Every structure is written in structure tokens, then in C-alpha cells.
């Protein structure tokens, strides 16, 4: 059994106590028409711009697009956080629904669905990316789940948020959970 599958099973085993410990979710929308543009497209055409959007309890959501890839980060200095430079290797877009993981009402992680182009260029995958919220250099992607290769992808992403966020080392690559599917770059 691969390490990623074992880790995914371990997360499932420890998730039963998560709700009893005060974990919950709430949702906001990323709608660029309701956001403030902070950078405009470059003349070369490879940078689409950057926006700051409203998030849970006013927390800033930084969304940028460059070279047909999205970048999403959070917090008062979101553009300077590691998450602001993290994306998927293939061209991609993001879903508008953003899940905020809460512990006793305080946001500590997010889960966002990304849609990377597949190698054939005519279809997209679906990847859940978990980002921990630690302003001051600790806001980064911590886990990824191929939502098409894992039938319980949402539960896996939530358990990863609940067990890894706040202690993940942002100098490390995000953990790939369960069946890696298209995440075998």
C-alpha cells in the first residue's frame, strides 16, 4: 500500500473526533466582479491580474492569474505568503465556492476546488487543495486530493485541514492524499 493511501486511511480513522472538537465549515464565494483589482494585466499577456476579495469575517482572499494558472492566498499580507506563489503545474482555474474550516468559530484552513487542464487539453480534472491560514509566512498549501480519483475527497480534505493545519512546514511540498490520480506530476 502506498504512503499516500496509508496517510489517507489514517486521516479517516482519526476524523471521527473532529466534529466533537469544535470543527465546522462555512462557505464564501470568489466572484472577481465583487473584488478589488490590485494589479492589472501585463502588456506581455502572460499575467491576467490580481484581486483582493472578501472572505470569512472580512479575511482577505488574494486571487491572481498568470500564464493561465491561478494563485490563491489569504490574510492581511496574502500576496507575500507562500500560498501566493503556489499553483498546479498545468493550466488551471478555481471554483467560486471556498470552504473555510473553523475551530470554535475561528478560520484556520480553507479548501478550494481547482480545475487543472488534463494532458489532452480538452478536459479538466478536479483537485481539492487545502491551505493552512498562518499569517506571517505560514499560509501555504498543505494537502491535495484528486476529487475524481477519490470518492470521499471532501471528507479527506476536511480531515487533512483539521489534522495538519497550523503545524505544516511551508518549506515542504503539500501532501497528496489517497489515490493520487492526476496529481502524479
- How far apart CA 154 and CA 163 sit, in angstroms, is 14
Sequence-ordered list of residues with C-beta below 8 angstroms from that of 159, at least 6 positions apart, any chain: 11, 12, 14, 15, 18
Torsion of the alpha carbons at 109, 115, 118 and 120, rounded to the nearest 10: -170
Specify the pLDDT at position 19: 55
Neighbours of 68 (CB within 10 A): 12
> Mind listing the pLDDT tens digit for each residue in 113-152?
999 999 877 899 999 999 999 989 999 999 999 999 999 9
All 3 cell numbers of residue 97? 465556492
Q: Is pLDDT above 90 for 21? A: no
Q: Is the dihedral of CA 152, 30, 32, 170 positive or negative?
A: negative
Whether pLDDT at 78 is above 60: yes
* pLDDT confidence band for 14 (50 / 70 / 90): very low
**Contact call for residues 37 and 51 (beta carbons, < 8 A):** yes
Q: In the structure grid, which three cell numbers stand for residue 44, read together?
A: 506581455
pLDDT of 47 above 90: no
DSSP SS3 for 67: coil
Q: Indicate if the pLDDT at residue 65 is higher than 80.
A: yes
CA angle, 22 then 27 then 30, to 5°: 145
* Rounded Cα distance, 179 and 184, in Å: 10
pLDDT attached to residue 15? 37
pLDDT reported for residue 183 = 96
Amino acid at each position: 500500500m502506498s504512503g499516500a493511501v496509508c496517510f489517507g486511511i489514517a486521516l479517516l480513522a482519526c476524523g471521527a473526533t473532529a466534529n466533537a472538537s469544535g470543527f465546522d465549515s462555512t462557505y464564501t464565494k470568489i466572484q472577481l466582479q465583487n473584488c478589488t483589482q490590485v494589479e492589472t494585466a501585463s502588456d506581455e499577456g502572460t499575467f491576467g491580474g490580481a484581486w483582493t476579495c472578501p472572505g470569512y469575517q472580512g479575511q482577505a482572499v488574494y486571487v491572481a492569474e498568470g500564464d493561465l494558472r491561478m494563485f490563491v492566498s489569504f490574510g492581511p499580507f496574502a500576496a507575500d505568503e507562500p500560498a501566493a506563489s503556489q499553483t498546479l503545474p498545468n493550466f488551471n482555474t478555481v471554483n467560486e465556492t471556498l470552504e473555510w474550516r473553523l475551530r470554535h468559530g475561528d478560520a484556520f484552513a480553507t479548501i478550494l476546488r481547482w480545475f487543472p487542464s488534463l494532458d489532452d487539453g480538452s478536459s479538466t480534472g478536479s483537485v481539492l487543495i487545502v491551505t493552512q491560514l498562518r499569517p506571517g509566512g505560514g499560509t501555504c498549501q498543505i494537502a491535495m486530493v484528486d476529487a475524481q480519483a477519490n470518492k470521499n475527497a471532501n471528507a479527506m480534505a476536511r480531515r487533512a485541514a483539521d489534522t495538519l493545519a497550523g503545524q505544516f512546514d511551508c518549506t515542504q511540498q503539500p501532501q497528496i492524499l489517497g489515490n493520487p490520480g492526476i496529481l502524479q506530476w
